[in-house]
Amino acid sequence: MNKKSGQATDAAEPGPTLSKGSRRLQFFGEEFVLDTVSGLFYRLTPAAHLVLRAYAEGVQSQQFPGLLKQHYGIDPASAARDVELLLNQMVSLGLLDPQPERLQEGRA
């Protein structure tokens, strides 16, 4: 996922989460997403788009590896690792909240 604005990136903070507004993320096709709270926008890889869109639509994070596996035909271990890396990156960008559920998954 490449940041396009060329500005500094927000670190993960307690508080800012998608729950601030279910429409916090605005998708523009499959390539761009705008965080309407920070005004920062990002160019997405196809896998990032798939996961982030699913997240915005309320899909549980445990289901993300299955989504990637189904979409790209990759093995479960690779899918789980890719999802974990992706979610960590999105949390660090402030796009997703560090949910306890997901943090526990990350430690596992």
Nearer to another protein, 16 or 66 (CB): 16
| Chain center to CA of 29 | 16
Nearer to another protein, 25 or 83 (CB): 25
Sign for the pseudo-dihedral over CA of 39, 46, 63, 86: negative
Q: Which secondary structure element, helix H or strand E, spans residue 83, and what is its range?
A: helix 76-92
Q: 87 with 97: CB under 8 angstroms?
A: no
Q: How far apart are CA 44 and CA 51, in angstroms?
A: 10
Residue 11 CB, nearest distance to another protein (Å)?
Answer: 4
Nearer to another protein, 38 or 63 (CB): 38
* Binding interface with another protein (CB under 8 A): 5, 7-13, 15-16, 20-21, 26, 34, 36-41
Nearer to another protein, 15 or 29 (CB): 15
The number of C-alpha atoms within 13 Å of 52 and in the hemisphere containing its C-beta is 33
Residue 35 CB, nearest distance to another protein (Å)?
Answer: 8
Residue 69 CB, nearest distance to another protein (Å)?
Answer: 33
Residue 98 CB, nearest distance to another protein (Å)?
Answer: 13
